[in-house]
Amino acid sequence: MGREKRKNMKGRRFSKRKTEADRANRHDLYQKAVQAPEADIEFFSKVFEERRDRAPMRMREDFCGTAYFSTEWCKSHPERTAIGVDLSAETLQWGREHNLAAVPDETRARIELIEGDVRVQHEELAPADMTCAMNFSYCVFKTRAELLEYFKAARAGLVEDGVFFCELYGGMEAIQPVRDEREVEDFTYIWEQKLYNPIDHSTLCYIHFEFEDGSRINRAFTYDWRLWTIPELRELLLEAGFSSARVYWEEVEDEEDSDPDDDELSGTGEYVEVTEVENQESWLVYIAAFV
C-alpha cells in the first residue's frame, strides 16, 4: 500500500452493524408494552354511560405523550374529538408523525395537541366530557399543593356532568426494589423500581428494553414520582370540587380457575367499583371523579 493511501486510511473507523436497540424507537416500544387504549376506552365509556346516561364524545388526555390514546379515541367513533396536552415538544412531534399521520385526514382533524402545562387553563377550549391522566403521570406532582392545583384545573376543564379518570398502583410490592420482565412481541419490557423513601413516598423507577440480539436500551424512561395513596387522591379530588371519587378494582380469578401451583392471583381485566378489599402484593386501580 502506497504512503498516500496509508495516510488517507489512518484513523478511519469502520461502521458496525446496527443492533436491534439502535434501530428501535423508545416511544414505539412504550406504546406496544405499556398502553392498551382499546381496553381503557371501553372501560371509561362504560363507567361514563352508566353514571351519565349518555356517551362521552369530547375527551381531554393530560400528559398525552405521543397522543396514542387520543388517536384511538377518535378512531373509535366518527363524532369523537380529543385534546392532548403535554410539556414535551419532542414527544408530541413523534406522535404527530407516527400516530396522527397514520389515520385519515377526517380523524386527524378531530385531534388537537397542545404543548403546555396541564395545570394551565385554556379558556379558548370547549370543556371536555371526560379527562384522563394515564400511566400514573400525575405522580410527577410531589406536593399536596401541586396535585390539588392540577385536580382543580382538571375539574375546571370539564362539562357540568363530566368525569375525570386516573390510575394508581400500590400494594406491598410497590414500596420494594422490584425488577419485572415481560415478553412483548420481539423484545423484553423491564420495569425497575429502584428506590423508595417512606418519609415522603418518593420513588424512582425505570423502564428498560432488551432485544433478542442481546442489545438493550437502558433507562429508556425515568420516573421520579411520589407514590400517592388512594385516600389522599380521593380527598384531594373532593377538595378540588368533584362531588365523588370512586375506586374501581380489578377482579381476580376464582380459586378453582387459578393455577394451583401459582401463589399469585390472576387478574381478569375487569374492574368493578369497591369500597373495601383485601390488600395484595401488587394492585392497580382506576379512580373516577364525578363533577
CA distance 82 to 110: 6
Please tell me the CATH code under which domain 20-168+229-255+267-290 is placed: 3.40.50.150
Does residue 263 carry a pLDDT above 70?
A: no
Burial of 144 (0-12, 13-18, 19+ CB in 10 A): middle
The mean pLDDT of 111-138, rounded to a whole number, is 94
Neighbouring-strand partners of residue 180: 191
At 43-99, the pLDDT tens digits run: 999 999 999 999 999 999 999 999 999 999 999 999 999 999 999 999 999 999 999
Q: For the ranges 2-6, 106-110, 181-185, 277-281, which has the lowest average pLDDT?
A: 2-6
The pairing of beta strand 128-133 with beta strand 158-170: parallel
Of 275, 28, 26, 35, the residue nearest 132 (C-alpha): 35
pLDDT at 14: 44
Q: Start-end ranges of CATH 3.40.50.150 in the chain?
A: 20-168+229-255+267-290
At 227-256, the pLDDT tens digits run: 999 999 999 999 999 999 999 999 887 656
Model confidence at 129, pLDDT cuts 50, 70, 90, reads very high
Sheet holding 128-133: strands in order across? 111-115, 81-86, 58-62, 128-133, 158-170, 283-290, 244-252, 267-274
pLDDT at 189: 98
Chain mean pLDDT for the chain: 92
- Would you give the end-to-end CA distance of the chain in angstroms? 80
Query: Which has the higher per-residue pLDDT, 213 or 263?
Result: 213
Does residue 3 carry a pLDDT above 60?
A: no
pLDDT at 262: 56
pLDDT at 260: 54
At 144-175, the pLDDT tens digits run: 999 999 999 999 999 999 999 999 999 999 99
